[in-house]
A and B are shown apart, each in its own frame.
Chain A
Amino acid sequence: MQKQRKLAREVAVVGAGMSRFGMFPEKNSKDLFVEAFNEAVASVDKGMDPQDIDALYLGNFSNDFFVHQAHWGPLLTDIIGLAPKPATRTEGACASSALSFREGVFAIASGFYDIVLVGGVEEMSKRTTEEVTEGLALATTPYEMKVGFTFPGVFGAIATAYFAKYGASREHLMNVTIKSHNNAPLNPKAQFNASIRDIMNSRIERARQREQPIPTWQDEKEFLRDERANPTVAWPMKLYDCCPISDGASCMILTAGEIARNFTDKPLYVAGIGQGSGRGLHAAEDITYFEATRYAAQEAYQMSGLKPEDIQFSEVHDCFSIAEIIHTEDLGFFKPGEGYKAVEEGLTRLDGSKPINTSGGLKCKGHPVGATGIGQLYEVWKQLRGEAGDRAVPIKDLRIGAAHNLGGTGGTCTFTILERR
């Protein structure tokens, strides 16, 4: 049994911003972060003087590798006018900014600061696909990397173990892809704003214009089965099982709970926050779940007094389709081995009983890895404040949402529950 955690004082989110995610050859990390920062400041309902921010916590996995520039904290405190106030970088692979959020929360809860900026950034698209694959693989364990594993490979292997244990198949993974792509057109900041059906129609139209043979896919699954339309990346992960290569930035303004209402009448409170560590494929308790997620979830649930059924919707780390299924089991939304059935039954759709990845998920929204953790919380912010537009979760009293972030081979996992009161 884990220890019951609590914050020494309450922490609230009073502002949030996110750049659009995508591939932006003409923008660098500073440009993207300024975009997110400006939106975050503007989103503070009663206004905030940026000079009142005490510190920056910044998640970044590996701009060192991707753009050959390290030490992003002070570069960003400089560009937004926060220097000489302190900047601290956190690194937890694809969970880097869930960690910066967490450090910001602790800094306020400790009483040291009252207002902090937490954020994340990554600039990946200036490298080739092969190079990005290599860069991301730096976050596998050395034993995985040395026998040729890439991240699509790690999750492909996890999928084969899951299939063998529970009788699921590639057909079930397609349900995740189709669901996420149905949410994406409703998110103006998503990298891919198209449903699978939209993509099929545009391919058919293009073939017609070029007077090429017209594809005859009967439905989305037939499209996804087509090796030419959906080529294999690392069996059984195909292109449409994998998140894209992205640039982007995200940030949030956190304050002590007791001053939150000076800034907005609609603050969100940190109800539960958890983090765990994993051990890689060779040493994990089991290859079909992530013990770090289970640990993080238990910590967050215990702290909040909430149960999985109390979480009204959640963003989960769908770097690959199989990952989304496993996370929904590890977070307790569905029993082990039943996550894939829940997707098939439509339970995780926007209008289902447990909407998952209303943003379109990493698959469609994009995955600039260091920006992702707070990018997920940005979706929770939008939903809980009633600002999610056409993708609003259709529940009358939307009060509790959560985000699950994963780094590496489940090496760093977090679960964060936000609450509107």
Chain B
Amino acid sequence: MEERPFTDLSYEQFLNEEKIMGCRCKKCQALYLPPRPICIKCFGDKMEWVEMKGKGKLAAFTCIGIGPPFMMEEGFDRNNPYCSGVVELEEKVRIDARIEGFDTSKPETIKVGTPVTVEFLHRGEGENMRTFPAFKPV
């Protein structure tokens, strides 16, 4: 695991393995999610992998009825919106994610600050598998 480069591709491979992996600068301890190859605080380039616990609070969200083709193909539309959002993790880093488990037909009932926990949504198979980081209410 330690051998993987600190890239978007590694981040996505880890998601496929149901892990949210960020990195920490060995020099100044700054934490990053997704991983970065260069520390933007001290410009050090020695990083180590850190697994996030997958718990946090909903920081922002939206319920989308007109989305990109890969979302519409899942059956979402204007009458059946999906929810995307930003979660502030316990580790004090943010992650863009799909948000599950809320009633998207009543978006006014969804509250910023709601405690959420991770689940991984796998779509496609084999080489084409992609995994969405997703969060649902605790």
Contact = CB atoms under 8 A, between A and B. Distances in A.
Contact of A145 (B65, B66, B68, B78): B68
Contacts of A149: 62, 64, 84, 96
B98 to A, nearest CB: 5
B112 A164 contact: yes
B66 A129 contact: yes
Interface in A214-240: 231-237
A148 B61 contact: no
Interface string B83-99: 01110000001111110
B86 A287 contact: yes
Interface stretch (A130-138, A304-312, A323-331, A338-346): A130-138
A157 interface: yes
A157 B107 contact: no
A129 B78 CA distance: 13
A281 B33 CA distance: 12
Interface string A387-408: 0000000000000000000000
Interface in A189-235: 231-235
Nearest to B33: A282
A158 B60 CA distance: 6
A153 B84 contact: yes
Contacts of A236: 62, 107
B137 interface: no
Interface residues of B, number: 38
Contacts of A281: 60, 86, 94, 96
B101 interface: no
A258 B81 CA distance: 57
Main secondary structure of the interface of A (DSSP, over half): helix
B64 A153 contact: yes
A68 interface: no
A235 B107 contact: yes
Interface string B1-20: 00000001000000000000
B56 interface: no
A160 B60 CA distance: 6
Interface residues of A, number: 37
Given A157-B85, A281-B60, A282-B95, A150 B66 contact: yes
B115 interface: no
Given A147-B96, A157-B85, A282-B95, A231 B78 contact: yes
A144 interface: yes
A236 B110 CA distance: 11
Contacts of B63: 156, 232, 234-235
Contacts of A163: 112
B107 to A, nearest CB: 4
A152 B95 CA distance: 19
B65 A157 contact: no
Nearest to A133: B66
B133 interface: yes
Contacts of B64: 148-150, 152-153, 156, 233-235
Given A156-B62, A157-B60, A160-B62, A143 B96 contact: yes
A239 to B, nearest CB: 11
B126 interface: no
Nearest to B113: A164
Contacts of A141: 96
A133 B68 contact: yes
B86 A148 contact: no
A145 B8 CA distance: 13
A129 B72 CA distance: 13
Given A147-B132, A161-B112, A235-B62, A282 B68 contact: no
A109 B49 CA distance: 47
Nearest to A232: B65
| Most chain B Cβ neighbours within 10 Å, of A148, A235, A280 | A148
Interface string A257-285: 00000000000000000000000111100
Q: Give the 6 A-B CB pairs with smallest separation, nearest first.
A: A156-B62, A164-B112, A235-B107, A157-B60, A161-B60, A235-B63
Interface of A: 129-130, 133-134, 137, 141-150, 152-154, 156-158, 160-161, 163-164, 231-237, 280-283, 287
17 contacts: A129-B66, A133-B67, A134-B69, A143-B96, A147-B98, A147-B132, A148-B68, A150-B67, A153-B64, A157-B61, A160-B61, A233-B64, A234-B63, A235-B81, A281-B96, A282-B95, A287-B60
